[in-house]
Amino acid sequence: MNRRLTNKIATTVFVSCAVIMTATLVYLLGYILTNGLSEVDMDFLTSDSSSAMAGGGIKNQLWNSFYILIVTLLLSAPLGVLGGIYLAEYARPGKLTNVIRTSVEVLSSLPSIVVGMFGLLIFVQYMGLGYSIIAGALALTVFNLPIIVRVTEDSIRSVPVKQKNASLALGITHWHTVKTVLVPAAFPGILTGILLSAGRIFGEAAALLFTAGLSTNRLQFDTWNPFDNNSPLNPFRSAETLSVHIWKVNSQGIMPDVDEIAAGSAAVLIIFVLIFNVTARVVGNIIFNKITGSK
Amino acid sequence: MPKLDKRTINEQEYDKPNMKKRESKEIRTESSEFNTTETLMNLKNLSVYYADNQAVKNIDMPIEKNKVTAFIGPSGCGKSTLLRTINRMNDQISVARYEGEINYDGLNILRKEVDVVTLRKEIGMVFQEPNPFPKPIKQNITHALKFMKKPKNEIEEIVESSLKQAALWEETKDRLNNSALSLSGGQQQRLCIARALALKPKVLLLDEPTSALDPISSAKVEDLIMELKKHYTIAVVTHNMEQAARISDNTAFMYNGDLIEFGETSRLFTNPREKRTEDYISGKFS
């Protein structure tokens, strides 16, 4: 009787934890979306922001967010995946490896505002990049890289060792085994990790305040020469992203519709982060099924 | 063992770490010779350590060509370690080290310079748990062949012949592109054997190949082993003494890392010389 009661209590505790968690998420999402979505329309998404008048949009900010995201992933994904493979497969257990692993962990837990300050010092000033997309992407790489390293290492380690043995026992070299057995099996996990980290980069504000800047040139979406100052593709121009925009209008906006803009931007931000998360799952599953040949 | 002698005389050959070089002059004895007793491999004073723990202790024994050699003994006696030493899979474990020699084809395969990749092509291994790649059946076999850059038409032939050899062709020929994971445990294990056979090895190491299988699947794998010994030299680790008695020609009984007794299976099981062997095979301890 007693044991049965304990069992019941344990079940109740776990279920209520899950309920609290889900309820918080649903409430948050519901609140942001119901408040924000009414402000979001095509015009909001495709018009320039205004600094004093009502009715500004978020076109440039949205573009900047994606651009910085892509540049960050281009910098951090290849490096991170290779680093993860190194740690999982090549690093011999020892002091050096421990130092590397600890550094990676510390790097990923640095407060993003500190990474922003670091970026300001190193990328913006010392390297002379100025407030720019590239400086912002480099700062984001600083804490995105460790996440990708970690995800890759974990995914590769979670491939059953019997798979690796099977390949090695067939007279296949370590590198070829990594390439054709371990990485493919770990790929869904790695991809999911990268897409999830993409959600984090997309929503990051603090690290970008001091690196990508708070303003955007008047972008001309017909000028695709990346060296033109008004070109959306120019990586050396300053770029205010969506989340920085939310922070900026909230703290220093003087337009009359500050609340509406912030709410609308937040809704758009959340929707994209949700899209990244859902895509991560769906694509991961599809690729897993494809690789394993199961349907 | 005339051919081996010739090789051992040639000291330079002895020193060649790269086994590929020798492949051109490869001597593949015909399968019709399987009745004669010929030593393919010689374990000389072999010890294996994991850090300071000696898992295999100074073992001397031959592995005879085209025979099935069974390794029996209680859990932890070092039989799997010994088996995994023969194709250097223990190299994976950073604290593992070897002493002594395993002479195979005139070469001590424990030497550092031996190319383990080439070695493992000649000495195939099948593990306790079926471990097919989570890929289509066919790709499980072509995986290694593609790595070796075999021509396409040859690959097709090898897929069929190795599946036939593993008695799996009839069951799988219509669904070669289905996932290997859709096969039953016994079929998966035979696929793993087929995968090893596709490389045309000389030796097959089987590490408790049936312990994860049901009795019917086990019987099929046993039949397969009996069939395969006509062409291959087989070393099998087993927990199942009936199995050792049924399928092996020679048996090695190990205990605590020591080789207690080695001899013809029929003799060892009916008339063991050592007390401990007798106790073990009569089930007094396990």
pLDDT value for B16? 42
Do residues A187 and A291 make contact, with C-beta atoms less than 8 angstroms apart? yes
Closest-CA distance, B150 to chain A, in angstroms, reads: 14
Mutate to test the interface with A, among B19, B94, B114, B117 (most CBs of A within 10 A): B117
Break chain B into its structural domains and give their ranges. Answer: 2-31+39-281
Tell me the mean pLDDT in the region B29-48.
71
Cβ-Cβ contacts under 8 Å for B255 (sequence gap 6 or more): B73, B74, B77, B276, B280
Tell me the mean pLDDT in the region A173-194.
91
Nearest-CB residue to B177 (from A185, A291, A293):
A293
Do residues A231 and A132 make contact, with C-beta atoms less than 8 angstroms apart? no
Residues of B with CB under 8 A from a CB of A: 87, 89, 92, 94, 117-121, 124-125, 127, 129, 131-136, 139, 143-144, 147-148, 177-182, 192, 195-196, 199
Mutate to test the interface with B, among A170, A172, A174, A181 (most CBs of B within 10 A): A170
- What is the average pLDDT value for chain A, to the nearest integer? 89
pLDDT value for A1? 67
Closest-CA distance, B206 to chain A, in angstroms, reads: 12
Stronger pLDDT, A229 or B19, i.e. the higher one = A229
Position B33 pLDDT exceeds 60: no
Of all residues in chain A, the one with the smallest CA distance to B192 is A166
* Predicted confidence (pLDDT) per residue in B71-112, tens digit: 999 988 999 999 999 999 988 888 888 999 999 988 899 988
Q: Which of A262, A211, A292, A291 minimizes the C-alpha distance to A40?
A: A262
A293 and B121 within 8 Å at the Cβ level: the answer is: no
Cβ-Cβ contacts under 8 Å, B121 against chain A: 170-171
pLDDT value for B24? 41
Give me the percent of chain A exceeding a pLDDT of 70: 98
pLDDT value for B125? 93
Do residues A196 and A276 make contact, with C-beta atoms less than 8 angstroms apart? yes
pLDDT value for B28? 42
Which of B25-34, B88-97, B155-164, B271-280 is predicted least confidently? B25-34
A172 and B89 within 8 Å at the Cβ level: the answer is: no
The CATH class, in words, for B2-31+39-281 is: alpha beta
Model confidence at A94, pLDDT cuts 50, 70, 90, reads confident
Q: Which of B5, B10, B32, B36 minimizes the C-alpha distance to B21?
A: B10
Using only the alpha carbons of chain B, give its radius of gyration: 19
Of all residues in chain A, the one with the smallest CA distance to B199 is A170
Position A137 pLDDT exceeds 90: yes
Position A118 pLDDT exceeds 60: yes
pTM score over 0.95: no
pLDDT value for A56? 80
Rounded Cα distance between A258 and A265, Å, is: 11
Tell me the mean pLDDT in the region B32-48.
77
Rounded Cα distance between B280 and B274, Å, is: 10
The structural domains of chain A, ordered by start, are: 38-292 (1.10.3720.10)
Give me the percent of chain A exceeding a pLDDT of 90: 48
Which of A217-226, B55-64, B79-88 is predicted least confidently? A217-226
Model confidence at B36, pLDDT cuts 50, 70, 90, reads low
* Predicted confidence (pLDDT) per residue in B197-217, tens digit: 999 999 999 999 988 888 888
Position B12 pLDDT exceeds 70: no
pLDDT value for A293? 64
Q: Note the ipTM here.
A: 0.80
Cβ-Cβ contacts under 8 Å, A293 against chain B: 134-136, 139, 177-180
